[in-house]
Chain A
Amino acid sequence: MKRANMILLVLLALALPLSLLAGRVWLDFGVTPNAEVILAQLRLPRALLAIIVGAGLGAAGAAMQGYLRNPLADPGLFGIAPGAALGAVASFWFGYSASAWLLPIFALTGAAGAMALLALIAGRTGGIALFTLAGMMIASLAGAMMSLAISFAPNAFAMSEIVTWLMGALTDRSWREVYLAAPLTLAGILCFLMARRDLDALILGDAAARSMGMRPGVLQFWLIAGVGLTVGSGVAVAGIIGFVGLIVPHLVRPFTDRKPSALIIPSALAGALLVLVADSVVRILPTITELRLGIALSLIGAPFFLWLLLRMRRGYSGGLM
C-alpha cells in the first residue's frame, strides 16, 4: 500500500508541472505573453481543483465499494451528486449563478438536502439495502426535478447554461473554487478514514461486522458525511464528473491488500491523477470548443464499466475483487 502511494505521488508530481504548461497555449516563460498570469490565475487553480475533485471522487468510490461490498458501486448511488447538481441547477433557474459564491452554495445545499433525506429514510437501523434504495430514489427524484427545470427553463440562455454545466468541467475556475472545495474534500476523506475499520469488518458481511463491534448507524454517518463533503463539493465546483469513483478503485486494488481501508488513500491519489491528466488532455485536444471533462471521463468510463461487467460475467474476479 505504501509503495502504491509513493508511486502515485511521484506520478502526480510529474503530471502537475506538465499539466500547468499544457493547454491551447503551451506556456513558454519568456516567450508566451502573460505566462505568469496564465499560470497563477488559470492553470494552477484549475490543476489544483482537478487534484481536489479527483481525490474526493476516488476516495468516495473506494469507500462506497467497500460499504456495499460491490466492485460496481459508485458514489452517485447515494443520490448526493444528483442532489448537489439539482441545487446548482436551481441557482441557474433562479438566475443566481452569476454571483460568485451562490452557485456552489446552492450545490452544497442540494448535497446537504440529499444527505439529510438519506439519513432520514435509512434511519438508525443502518440496513445496506434500504440505504442503497433510498439513495437511488433520491438520485431518481433529483434527476426528474433537473429535467423539469430544463423543460421549464425561464429562457434559452438559462437552459443552455444548465445543460452545459451538468456536463462537468474545470474550465475558467479560479482560486475561489479551490478555497471552497479543498477543506471540504479533505474533511470528507477524513470521514472515510474514520470509517476504515468498519469497512474492513464488512468484508465478512453485515452479521460478522456487527459481531466485531461495527455500529451500522455510526458507519452510515461517516459515509454520508464523507460522500456529502467530497462529492457535494466536487459537484459544486465542477459539475457532474462521473465514473472516477467507479474506475479508480479498480485500477488501484491489485496494488493493495484489497481491504477497503487500504484503498482509500491510494484511490484518492489515483483519482487526483486521473482527473488531472484527463483535464490536461481535454485542453490540448484540437477541438473547436473544449471537450467537457465530464463527457471525456464518461467516454472512458462507460466502456470500462462494460468491460468490468463482461469480466464478471465470465466469472473472473482476480482483478476485480
Chain B
Amino acid sequence: MNLSAKNITVTGRIADVSATLEPGKITAICGPNGAGKSTLLSCLGGLITPDNGYAELGGVPLSDMAPIERAKQIGFLPQNGEAAWDVAVRNLVALGRMPHRDAAREPVDAAITALDLEALQDRPISQLSGGEKARALLARVLAGQPEWILADEPLAALDLAHQLALIGHLRKQADAGTGVVIVLHDLALAMNHADRVVVLDKGSFAGQGAAEKMLSHAVISEVWKLDIDWLGESGSKALSIR
C-alpha cells in the first residue's frame, strides 16, 4: 500500500505538498533547515492534521482511520527519543505492541534479535550508549510489525559506524517489504542509502525521484545554495563542497 501526501498544507510550515511513497523502499525526506521535513513526516504519520489536503494510506485518508488502526500500520520514531522512566530495554521494546493491545512475545523477541539487543534486553535504558539506545528505540517500532516505518532524523546523534549499522537495519526492513521513510540532513547518507528522495524547500515541494536525480549538483545548488561535487562510486559517494 502506498503512503501519500495529497496537497498538504500546514499553515506557516508547508504548502501544497504532494508525494507518493512506495513500500519496500527507503525514502529520504531532505531539505535545508526550516524546509518542513519533520512537518511532512508528522502528517504522513497522522500526528498532525493538515489545514488543507490529507495523507492517505492505501487510498484511505489517515483522518478516517481510528488512531489504533493507523498505529498498527505506521510505526513512528520521533526525533530525540528519550524515555521518561528508566525501564529495561525489553519493556521499552514491548511498548511497540501497544497498538495491538497484546503482550505477544514473538514480535518483541524478533525485534530484539533483529537489532542485536539480546545481551542488553534486561539493562535499564539509562545504561545504554547512544547507538544502543537508538537501536532499542527502533526495536520498539519494529515490535509493532508496522507496514511503514517513519523516522525523524534517526541518525542525527550517531557516529558514522552506528549510522551505517542503523541504516543497515532499516534496509533489511525495506528489503522485507516495509516502507521506510526517514528525514535526513546528511545528503551523502541519503545519496548512498535512499532509494527515493523527496526534496522540500522553504515549505514547498521541490521534487521527488531517485537519489541520483534529486541530489544532483543542480538541485543542491538551487535548494541548498551550495556549489558541490559528488566524489566516488555509486553507493559510496562523498560530498565535496567547492
The stretch among B1-9, B86-94, B158-166, B220-228 that forms the contact with chain A is: B86-94
Q: Name which of B69-77, B106-114, B179-187, B201-209 contacts chain A.
A: B69-77
> Complex Cα distance A202/B126, Å?
17
B229 within 8 A of A: no
The closest CB in chain A to the CB of B79 belongs to: A207
Which one, B78, B86, B92, contacts A207 given CB within 8 A?
B78
* Interface contact A213-B99, CB-CB below 8 Å: yes
Instruction: Judge whether B86 and A204 touch: CB under 8 Å.
Output: no
Alpha-carbon distance A260/B71, docked complex (angstroms):
21
Cα A251 to Cα B57 in complex, Å, equals 46
Chain A residues with CB under 8 Å of B78's CB are: 204-205, 207-208, 211
Residues in chain B near residue A258, CB distance under 8 A = 85-87, 91
CB-CB under 8 A from A202, the residues of chain B are: 84
A199-230 contacts to B (CB < 8 Å) = 200-205, 207-208, 210-215
Say yes or no: is A69 at the interface (Cβ < 8 Å to chain B). yes
Residues of A within 8 A of B45 (CB): 211
Per the CB 8 Å criterion, the residue count for chain B at the interface is 34
Q: Is the CB of A321 within 8 A of B81?
A: no
B239 CB-CB contact with A under 8 Å: no
**Which residues from A are CB-within-8-Å of B157?**
none
Question: Which residue of B67, B84, B101, B144 is within 8 Å of A210 (Cβ)?
Answer: B67
Nearest to A70 among chain B residues (CB) is B84
Instruction: Assess whether A318 is interfacial by the CB under 8 Å rule.
Output: yes
**Taking the nearest CB of chain B, how far is it from the CB of A250, in angstroms?**
12
A208 to B6, CA, bound (A): 24
Residues of the A chain whose Cβ atoms lie less than 8 Å from the Cβ of B126:
317-318, 321
Q: In the complex, what residues of B have CB within 8 A of residue A213's CB?
A: 66-68, 70-72, 98-99
How far apart are the CA atoms of A69 and B92 in the complex, in Å? 15
User: Which residues of B are found within 8 Å of A173, using beta-carbon distances?
Assistant: none
Q: Does the CB pair A205–B42 fall under 8 Å?
A: no
Contact A201 B95 (CB under 8 A): yes
Report yes or no: A212 in contact with B95, Cβ–Cβ below 8 A: yes
Asked if residues B67 and A203 are in contact (CB atoms below 8 Å), the reply is no
- B156: CB under 8 A from chain A? no
Task: Indicate whether B83 reaches chain A with its CB closer than 8 angstroms.
Answer: yes
Question: Does B98 lie within 8 Å of A204, measured CB to CB?
Answer: no
Asked whether B98 lies within 8 Å of A203 as measured between CB atoms, the reply is no
CB of A64, distance to nearest CB on chain B (Å):
13
Minimal Cβ-Cβ distance residue in A for B86: A321
Closest to B67 in A: A213
A257 interface residue (CB < 8 Å to B): yes
Is B196 in contact with chain A by the CB < 8 A criterion? no
B47 within 8 A of A: yes
Q: How far is the CA of A208 from the CA of B70 in the complex (A)?
A: 13
Given known contacts A204-B140, A205-B78, A260-B85, A210 and B95 CB-to-CB distance under 8 angstroms:
no
Count A-side interface residues using an 8 Å CB cutoff.
25
A residues 177-204 touching B (CB-CB < 8 Å): 197, 200-204
With A207-B47, A213-B70 as known contacts, state yes or no: A321 contacts B95, CB within 8 Å: no
Q: Which of B75, B76, B86, B140 has the most CB of A within 10 A?
A: B86
B82 at the A interface (CB under 8 A): yes
Q: How far apart are the CA atoms of A317 and B83 in the complex, in Å?
A: 12
Within the complex, the shortest CB–CB distance from A89 to chain B, in Å, comes to 36
Q: Which residues of B contact A211 (CB under 8 A)?
A: 45-47, 71, 74-76, 78
Which one of A210, A214, A215, A259 contacts B85 once the chains associate, using CB atoms below 8 Å?
Answer: A259
What A residues does B98 contact at CB under 8 A? 197, 200-201, 212-214
Chain A residues with CB below 8 A from B96, complex form:
212
Q: Which residues of chain A are near B91, meaning CB under 8 Å?
A: 257-259
Q: What is the CA–CA distance of A311 and B35 in the complex, to the nearest angstrom?
A: 41
Contacts of B42 in A (CB 8 A): 207
Q: How far is the CB of A313 from chain B (nearest CB, A)?
A: 17
Partner of A214, one of B67, B81, B83, B86: B67
Closest to A211 in B: B76
State in angstroms the CA–CA spacing of A215 and B81 once bound together: 19
Closest 7 CB pairs of A and B: A211-B76, A69-B84, A213-B71, A213-B68, A207-B78, A321-B86, A212-B98
A to B CB contacts below 8 Å, 24 in the list: A66-B85, A69-B84, A69-B85, A200-B95, A204-B83, A204-B84, A204-B140, A205-B78, A205-B84, A208-B77, A210-B47, A210-B67, A211-B46, A211-B76, A212-B71, A213-B70, A213-B72, A213-B98, A257-B88, A258-B86, A259-B85, A318-B86, A321-B85, A321-B126
Given contacts A204-B140, A317-B126, A321-B84, 17 further A-B contacts (CB under 8 A): A69-B84, A70-B84, A197-B101, A201-B98, A202-B84, A203-B84, A203-B95, A204-B82, A204-B84, A204-B92, A208-B81, A211-B75, A213-B70, A214-B67, A257-B87, A257-B91, A318-B86
